[in-house]
Amino acid sequence: MECSRGYSNTDAWRITWITLDIFMMTKVIRPNEISPPRNDLYKIMSIQNKTVTVVNYWTGWGNHKPDLQKFRIQ
């Protein structure tokens, strides 16, 4: 899957479905050879018209609360 925000560069991700409404996205392009791949864990909350609402669960270092995000399907 490819993603972009407005005029930002496009990222490439591999998607792994865990359940029907939970999936993990792994960034395909590595910034360098020593960094681990970036992973994001999402749960789909709703799909209405062309808007998908998801909760993004932090998988990195530190203590961050889940983040509600909305995306437009094109």
- For 38, counting Cβ atoms within 10 Å of its Cβ (0-12 exposed, 13-18 middle, 19+ buried), the class is middle
pLDDT band at 57 (very low <50, low <70, confident <90, very high): very high
- Residue in 40, 47, 37 with CA at minimum distance from that of residue 66: 40
Q: Where are the domains of the chain?
A: 2-72
Alpha-carbon span 71 to 23, nearest angstrom: 15
- What was the pLDDT predicted at 67? 94
- C-alpha separations of 52 from 10, 21, 35 in Å: 19, 11, 30
Helix (H, G, I), strand (E, B) or coil at 3: strand
Q: Average pLDDT, whole number, for the chain?
A: 85
Q: What is the pTM of this model?
A: 0.75
